[in-house]
Chains A and B, each alone.
Chain A
């Protein structure tokens, strides 16, 4: 065996090395120098993100257990970029909350482990590998969610996450066992080619879909989302709502387009109904939220409801639209969470009412928040408009006009509650607005990256065309 082939796993290898470096730094540094871990890690992770874009050969390893394609590498790069922003945004929070004996390195180690799990999951060619990756991605998150030890809600959120994750993996495993029972293999290629479309296999698909739907918080598997998002520290919430969700979307679409291609008719109708439910319920609940984190939780549920519009019908163009949408969603949501984190970590204020008059004291934060929310709502000229437009176009091309119509109505409803926050910041008067927050360099950098992403990705037609060139030939 040629050891050069291991370079197919370049992303995972570099991440593992990073995880080890964090551990060594954590052990070898004393209390005072612990804060140095942050800049070093951010710098190293930046190098990792850039290195991810270097051209690399693609192929499969371990007899097909693990495989990469240019598209999968792009997905990993998107996740890397997201995690980089999360790292930058959480620097301030780490400095203020992880003092003394708390280990900053632990935070980085856990996030990187989770990311390694996601990378393996996306690259899986076999359901065992997929399952291991999934668990590696999920379990560390519970520790992160519960990491604010002194807060009850944080611990409660951690328990809720681990319980729902355990339940969903149970369901998923049951689906896998059914699939193995009916096919005699766990390799994606074997299953795809021997799919007989019998009812047991359809049941297996439903279970597997359910398991992944928990991760994306598709209605009716969304009930854990708001509580966990609210209880977790904001920076962890942004990781959960963006990176974790994006990776699950990626693996879902890969599975649907390869393994379950044989029952396209069935997953089309499953996606149709879950999509309508997810958009509508996410939106209706988001309107009523008073807490900004719960608000963003339901908004992210509603956003997830738009994703099936690209998957449905199973076209290559739809696939590209989903990847593009996720890329834009990542920047927009991280922008919004970045602002929330900056405010919550400094002042502890989380209620939307407390955002009243924010513009009078914090111009920059309000503007970034407004752009992010407009991007989430799909308003031009920010990128969200393009992401949504392409999803709608792909669905319309497949003939799902009614679904597009429902989605458009939902987009209008979502505009209403996004505007409520904009209204709070710009229009509502407040005698005691949130005081002017002096952001450190990290927070500013994080927000600037998000803003550039939100503005530039939409206009750069070349990005979409690049993604589309990678999906060429699917189907």
Chain B
């Protein structure tokens, strides 16, 4: 069995194991073991990938496999990875494993909870290994729909409203996306009446006429952009993230939003470079607004989850912004930012969930001095915050540095101004992060009940430690990851820069 197919088979087996489990303990053990194996697999994939590269394999995509699925439409089940997808798969592996750990205490319909969670993950893994737009779209929708039940059943607050809003907005986006995909497909035959294809590699070799690109590029970019919280389509994100249960917020902000960035890069920009060049400025304006608006939004929020959701809008806006700059350094930064933000936001949401379980409030006005009562969680929160505001030595710094340096390579006024505007978010981010850290963690203990709460237990500690190791690892040795990614960026960047 080859290494990529196993990434899909293990979650399916895990779901089966959960279905036949009887007790609560069996259910969560099968989930944890299954996702643990999945995590090992993703690490194994990294080494297999590196070994293959060392052996001199210079194909754009490795481990490529294709099976004909619907012959009449030339739809194939086609999988393969490059450095970008391997990195994102590893991210997914870490986030889902820690997500399962944080959900250890879910006891309301836990079987259904873990099944939905793992079905969702299957969609994410499938999305990242797909080389065929049909399967990619299939996995995209598969990753979105369990979210409805996950938020609706196990969420908190205005969960029904949030679940419906999130699902409909993302499905509406997938409608645009599908139209864009069909536009690519129909225009993919070399000669009239020739065989059409959904395959990304084959599509990238074609020269799709600029008139066609002008129509379908915005659809593809917005379609994926909605998932990446592109302004003004980001409104599902704060509501959805704040109502979702902890593990789902982690997965959604940590991984699903990255599908948006990955899709924009791999499909919209890569396959329609002319239109990306021509119309990119519209989206640069929108993403700049995302970055700054998200950061300002985070300043005024009082609910921890809302603060982090707006901060996600800001950080994911930065990913899209960097991709649109279509410079090699900035795009490299975009991928680093995806990984870094994925880990950091997963850590944030995990910690918020743990704090909420203890304090029963997420409103920062009622909290303070947590450092004194739950030092472990408080330190974790501080590290996440510092990574978020880009402290050197943690992952956020590397990513943002790359993005801003890369973006500044553009010499024209428009790009310069946009870059300066986006750079200002560094300061605003520092404001809201430090404000939260100060009111939440430092100072006197505001509520006497808080003196009784206990610090993290084993599975919570495990979650926090795994995520912090990953964040610090990237911060300390960024070149390792960066090399890994940047070789794979070459085909995309070459295609984009050929146009100029």
The answer to whether B141 and A379 touch across the interface, beta carbons within 8 angstroms, is: yes
The answer to whether B175 and A408 touch across the interface, beta carbons within 8 angstroms, is: yes
The answer to whether A396 and B160 touch across the interface, beta carbons within 8 angstroms, is: no
Taking CB atoms and an 8 Å cut-off, the chain B residues in 125-166 that contact chain A are: 134, 138-139, 141-142, 145, 148-149, 152-153, 159-160, 163-164
Taking CB atoms and an 8 Å cut-off, the chain B residues in 175-200 that contact chain A are: 175-176, 178-179, 182-183, 185-186, 196
Residue of B nearest to A468 (CB): B72
In the docked arrangement, what's the CA distance between A405 and B222, Å?
Answer: 15
In the docked arrangement, what's the CA distance between A404 and B145, Å?
Answer: 22
Residues of the B chain whose Cβ atoms lie less than 8 Å from the Cβ of A66: none
Residues of the A chain whose Cβ atoms lie less than 8 Å from the Cβ of B215: 401
Q: Does B73 contact A (CB under 8 A)?
A: yes
Question: Do A415 and B183 form a contact, CB below 8 Å, given A374-B145, A379-B145, A426-B153?
Answer: no
The answer to whether B148 and A422 touch across the interface, beta carbons within 8 angstroms, is: yes
Residues of the A chain whose Cβ atoms lie less than 8 Å from the Cβ of B141: 379-380, 385
Residue of A nearest to B182 (CB): A396
Q: Does A320 contact B (CB under 8 A)?
A: yes
Residues of the B chain whose Cβ atoms lie less than 8 Å from the Cβ of A392: 178, 182
Q: Does B458 contact A (CB under 8 A)?
A: no
Residues of the A chain whose Cβ atoms lie less than 8 Å from the Cβ of B160: 423, 427
The answer to whether B142 and A381 touch across the interface, beta carbons within 8 angstroms, is: yes
The answer to whether B178 and A416 touch across the interface, beta carbons within 8 angstroms, is: no
Taking CB atoms and an 8 Å cut-off, the chain A residues in 402-444 that contact chain B are: 404-405, 408-409, 411-412, 415-416, 419, 422-423, 426-427
Residue of B nearest to A409 (CB): B175
The answer to whether A385 and B183 touch across the interface, beta carbons within 8 angstroms, is: no
Main SS at interface, chain A: helix
Q: Does A95 contact B (CB under 8 A)?
A: no
Interface size on A, residues (CB 8 A): 33
The answer to whether A415 and B186 touch across the interface, beta carbons within 8 angstroms, is: no
Residues of the A chain whose Cβ atoms lie less than 8 Å from the Cβ of B167: 415, 419
Chain B nearest CB, measured from A420 CB (Å): 9
Q: Does B480 contact A (CB under 8 A)?
A: no
Q: Which residue of B68, B142, B175, B185 contacts A411 across the interface (Cβ within 8 Å)?
A: B175
In the docked arrangement, what's the CA distance between A385 and B174, Å?
Answer: 12
Question: Do A465 and B185 form a contact, CB below 8 Å, given A401-B179, A419-B164, A426-B153?
Answer: no
In the docked arrangement, what's the CA distance between A412 and B176, Å?
Answer: 11
Residues of the A chain whose Cβ atoms lie less than 8 Å from the Cβ of B175: 405, 408-409, 411-412
Q: Mark A302-333, 1 if CB is under 8 A from B, else 0.
A: 00000000000000010010000000000000
Q: Which residue of A393, A409, A422, A423 contacts B73 across the interface (Cβ within 8 Å)?
A: A393
Q: Which residue of B138, B153, B168, B182 contacts A393 across the interface (Cβ within 8 Å)?
A: B182
Residues of the A chain whose Cβ atoms lie less than 8 Å from the Cβ of B75: 461
Chain B nearest CB, measured from A99 CB (Å): 40
Q: Mark B213-231, 1 if CB is under 8 A from A, else 0.
A: 0010000000000000000
Q: Which residue of B69, B145, B171, B183 contacts A396 across the interface (Cβ within 8 Å)?
A: B183
Chain B nearest CB, measured from A417 CB (Å): 11
Q: Does A390 contact B (CB under 8 A)?
A: yes
Chain A nearest CB, measured from B474 CB (Å): 33
Question: Do A412 and B182 form a contact, CB below 8 Å, given A465-B71, A468-B72?
Answer: no
Chain B nearest CB, measured from A400 CB (Å): 10
The answer to whether A412 and B172 touch across the interface, beta carbons within 8 angstroms, is: yes
Interface size on B, residues (CB 8 A): 35
In the docked arrangement, what's the CA distance between A399 and B159, Å?
Answer: 41
Residues of the A chain whose Cβ atoms lie less than 8 Å from the Cβ of B163: 427
Chain A nearest CB, measured from B489 CB (Å): 30
Question: Do A389 and B164 form a contact, CB below 8 Å, given A380-B141, A396-B183, A405-B179?
Answer: no
Q: Which residue of B139, B145, B164 contacts A416 across the interface (Cβ within 8 Å)?
A: B164
Residue of A nearest to B219 (CB): A405
The answer to whether B186 and A426 touch across the interface, beta carbons within 8 angstroms, is: no
In the docked arrangement, what's the CA distance between A390 and B75, Å?
Answer: 11
The answer to whether A464 and B142 touch across the interface, beta carbons within 8 angstroms, is: no
Q: Does A290 contact B (CB under 8 A)?
A: no
The answer to whether A393 and B185 touch across the interface, beta carbons within 8 angstroms, is: yes
Chain A nearest CB, measured from B157 CB (Å): 14
The answer to whether B178 and A427 touch across the interface, beta carbons within 8 angstroms, is: no
Q: Does A151 contact B (CB under 8 A)?
A: no
Q: Does A397 contact B (CB under 8 A)?
A: yes
Taking CB atoms and an 8 Å cut-off, the chain A residues in 326-383 that contact chain B are: 374, 379-381
Chain A nearest CB, measured from B208 CB (Å): 15
Residue of B nearest to A408 (CB): B175
Residue of B nearest to A411 (CB): B175
In the docked arrangement, what's the CA distance between A419 and B71, Å?
Answer: 33
The answer to whether A380 and B69 touch across the interface, beta carbons within 8 angstroms, is: no
The answer to whether B134 and A419 touch across the interface, beta carbons within 8 angstroms, is: no
Residues of the A chain whose Cβ atoms lie less than 8 Å from the Cβ of B134: 389
Interface centre among A317, A390, A461 (most CB of B within 10 A): A461
The answer to whether B73 and A415 touch across the interface, beta carbons within 8 angstroms, is: no
Taking CB atoms and an 8 Å cut-off, the chain B residues in 69-99 that contact chain A are: 69-73, 75
The answer to whether B153 and A397 touch across the interface, beta carbons within 8 angstroms, is: no
Question: Do A408 and B178 form a contact, CB below 8 Å, given A380-B141, A423-B160, A426-B152?
Answer: yes
Residues of the A chain whose Cβ atoms lie less than 8 Å from the Cβ of B172: 409, 412
Q: Mark B33-69, 1 if CB is under 8 A from A, else 0.
A: 0000000000000000000000000000000000011
The answer to whether A427 and B153 touch across the interface, beta carbons within 8 angstroms, is: yes
Chain A nearest CB, measured from B105 CB (Å): 21
Interface centre among A320, A389, A405, A411 (most CB of B within 10 A): A389
The answer to whether B171 and A415 touch across the interface, beta carbons within 8 angstroms, is: yes
Taking CB atoms and an 8 Å cut-off, the chain B residues in 379-403 that contact chain A are: none
Question: Do A396 and B153 form a contact, CB below 8 Å, given A412-B168, A461-B71?
Answer: no
The answer to whether A320 and B178 touch across the interface, beta carbons within 8 angstroms, is: no
In the docked arrangement, what's the CA distance between A238 and B179, Å?
Answer: 33
In the docked arrangement, what's the CA distance between A419 and B149, Å?
Answer: 10
The answer to whether A461 and B183 touch across the interface, beta carbons within 8 angstroms, is: no
In the docked arrangement, what's the CA distance between A381 and B146, Å?
Answer: 11
* Residues in A lying within 8 Å of B, measured CB to CB: 317, 320, 374, 379-381, 385-386, 389-390, 392-393, 396-397, 399, 401, 404-405, 408-409, 411-412, 415-416, 419, 422-423, 426-427, 461, 464-465, 468
Instruction: Known A-B contacts: A392-B182, A409-B172, A427-B152. Give 6 more (CB < 8 A).
Output: A389-B134, A393-B182, A426-B153, A427-B160, A427-B163, A465-B71
| Interface CB pairs A-B, < 8 A, 12 | A380-B138, A385-B138, A390-B73, A393-B182, A397-B186, A401-B182, A415-B167, A415-B168, A423-B160, A461-B70, A465-B70, A465-B71
List of 3 A-B pairs having minimum Cβ-Cβ separation, nearest first = A408-B175, A396-B182, A468-B72
